[in-house]
Structure 1
Amino acid sequence: MDDATLFRRQLRTLAAMDELIAAAAPENRHLEFDGVSAAIVPATPDRSVTNGVVYERPEALEVVYEELAAAYEESGIRAWTVWVPQADRAVAESLARRGHLLDAAPRAMLGRLDKMRLDSAGLDGIDWSSGHPLSELAVVAGPVFAFGDELALATRNSPPGALCYLAHLEGRPVASVMACHHDGDCGIFWVATLEHAQRRGFATALMIAALRDAQEAGCETTSLQATAQGAPVYSRLGYEDHGAIEMWERRLSPDE
């Protein structure tokens, strides 16, 4: 499998995540066009990370852009983002002309599961469990990513495709990982560890568990979007850096 195919798998898994999040609360929505996917999460109107657009072809985004913008506005969303591969400079420039700003540039990290370092010894000494409802991840991911109660509200249903893992310290959840299997790829999301439990291997252990489960379920590849802090951890597991995937955010001013 070549690198271009791996990258396309990541985009399709991001689109599958949009659909999964849409099923996580009754008011959430998933918009799907030819080659474009969008999640609308009214409980998080000022957080573009949960209100995101993924496209496979630049021309497809251009065709539906105004419809997307109107849908976000009608839903009361004040911040939304478009995921843009770093090579798509024409898309980035078009979004900038429409009022989007570059909010973040996480790394697109991809891997082939048969080449990952997933030794079960990484689970030794870690109190972890799987099969949790999506809403339970908010106990960890909420404070780590600076959400209030809104993340729990936005994820109060538990779609079956949300495969949730928690690690515990003294009986309390301190780390989280969510996996989403789509068309042979295991997308990893909501990797978080509470501050007092960091650098103790909790999140790494959960990723090993999730990726081993994915391999057993028939997945061949894995993908995630990494911050600068997380990228070295993922590299040690065998992920490879495939460049930035930029988040071009449109944030409405109070008078808009």
Structure 2
Amino acid sequence: MDDSFTRYLGSLAASWDAFAKAHAGARAVHDDGYIALLDPEHPVLTNAAVLTPGAVPEVLGLLRPHATWAVWSRDAATAAALEAEGLRRDVTTRPMLARLPVRSGAPAPGAQVLRGADPGRVAELNGADPELLRGVPGLRAYLSGDGESGLVLLPHGDDVNVSMVATREGSRGRGLAGTVLHAALEDMQHEGSRTATLQSTPLAERLYARLGFSPVATWQEWGP
């Protein structure tokens, strides 16, 4: 694996470890061919990233007892193995990495950023249970001053994992997410982070590219 993808995957795995520590009954599983997070209480977190086709049977054995889950592939052979198991293709996402400091961007007019925000408010912006993000060790939450946009960070070594970036529908197009993300990553750079990694939907990729993020792979998501 190339260095950029390795950094992304290491931070993703560390973030899943942190979520598993916060939720009773959850567990993170690491193997040479995959990583997985299993969380019966919060099905949105039950995912596995499969790196080799030979890991598919073991991964599906972990996931299938759960009511809701997703599995991700990044190469054609693993995709073929998942398709042969009867799984259906879902969305594609792009792991991305930026070298810090991020590119300068014009903040939204009059925008302020709340550091140390309540993670539950960020979860709500994502349409999730507020308890999803509370109690996760090392997690930092950021919100725009009006509470309309937010995200969370989980540092891992000299990288920082960015997730749960969301803006309330009526406030989109005002540059709030970019302003919050820029401020959050400036903070992390000052604390010694060298890179930032995240996973983007196609819709958000342009936002991240403006701040200097570049794709390091493509995940094809699959479901039962």
Same fold per superposition (TM over 0.5) = yes
1:182 and 2:156 equivalent? yes
**Match of residue 139 from structure 1:** 124
* In the alignment, structure 1 residue 72 sits paired with structure 2 residue 54: no
Paired with 1:24 and 1:200, the residues of 2 have a C-alpha distance of: 33
Mapped pair 1:8 → 2:2: no
Kept in 2: contact 1:193–1:202 (CA 8 A): yes
Q: Does 1:82 align with 2:68?
A: no
SS at match of 2:18: helix
Offset, 1:176: 1.1
Q: 1:217-228, aligned counterparts within 5 Å?
A: 217-228=191-202
* DSSP 3-state at the match of 2:198: strand
1:228-247 aligned at under 5 Å gives the runs 228-247=202-221
Displacement of 1:123: 6.6
Q: What is the percentage of aligned positions where both structures have the same residue?
A: 28
Q: Is 2:144 the partner of 1:167?
A: yes
Partner amino acid, structure 1, of 2:183:
A
CA contact (8 A) 1:51 1:80 kept: yes
For 1:58, the aligned partner's letter is T
Shift of 1:204: 0.7
SS at 1:106 equivalent: strand
Please report the TM-score for the alignment, with normalisation by the length of structure 2.
Answer: 0.88
Hey, what does 1:152 align to over in structure 2?
130
Q: CA deviation at 1:26?
A: 1.7
Q: Distance in 1 between matches of 2:142 and 2:93?
A: 23
- Is the Cα–Cα contact under 8 Å of residues 165 and 177 in structure 1 kept in the other structure? yes
Candidates 159, 163, 169, aligned match of 1:195? 169
Equivalent of 1:206 in 152, 172, 180? 180
User: What are the ranges of 5 or more consecutive residues in structure 2 without an aligned counterpart?
Assistant: none
Structure 1 CA distance, aligned partners of 2:25 and 2:73?
Answer: 26
SS of residue in 1 equivalent to 2:22: coil
> How many correspondences in the alignment?
224
Measure how far apart 1:136 and its partner are.
Answer: 2.9
TM-score, normalised by the number of residues in structure 1: 0.78
What secondary structure is seen at the aligned counterpart in 1 of 2:79?
helix
1:71-150 alignment, distance < 5 Å: 71-74=62-65, 77-85=66-74, 88-114=75-101, 116-118=102-104, 122=107, 125-142=110-127, 147=128
C-alpha separation between the residues in 2 aligned to 1:186 and 1:118?
Answer: 18
In the alignment, is the contact (CA less than 8 A) between 2:38 and 2:47 conserved in 1? yes
Gaps in structure 1 of 5+ consecutive residues: 252-256
Answer whether contact 1:103 1:248 (CA < 8 A) is retained.
yes
Counterparts of 2:172 and 2:71, CA distance in 1 = 30
8 Å contact from structure 2 (residues 22, 137) kept in 1: no
